[in-house]
Amino acid sequence: MFTKEEIAVILDVDPLQLHTVLEEQDNPVFRAFQRGRLKREAEIRKGIFDLAQNGSSPAQTFAMKLIENAKANDL
């Protein structure tokens, strides 16, 4: 994952302006930014669960932690 400053460089926008816009939760830029981060996180989690199902012990351990954290957040 990249920092907000690195993303500003990639997008060729002012880092301070990007930071300001990303503080406004009703801004479409904020929603697009969050959607991109969540999609990437979902891809990574899918990879972890795929590895876990294929027998990777470290991935199984991490997958169980993800499941337990999800359960705790639902309470």
DSSP string over 2-20: --HHHHHHHHTS-HHHHHH
Which has the closest alpha carbon to 37: 70, 2, 72, 73?
2
Kindly give, in sequence order, each residue whose CB lies less than 8 Å from that of residue 46, ignoring residues fewer than 6 positions away: none
**47 has pLDDT over 80:** yes
For 48-70, what is the HEC assignment?
HHHHHHCCCHHHHHHHHHHHHHH
Cβ(18)–Cβ(8) under 8 Å? yes
pLDDT digits (tens, 9 = 90+) for 7-38: 999 999 999 999 999 999 999 999 999 999 99
pLDDT digits (tens, 9 = 90+) for 55-75: 999 999 999 999 999 998 887
* pLDDT value for 39: 97
Confidence of residue 1 (pLDDT cuts 50, 70, 90): confident
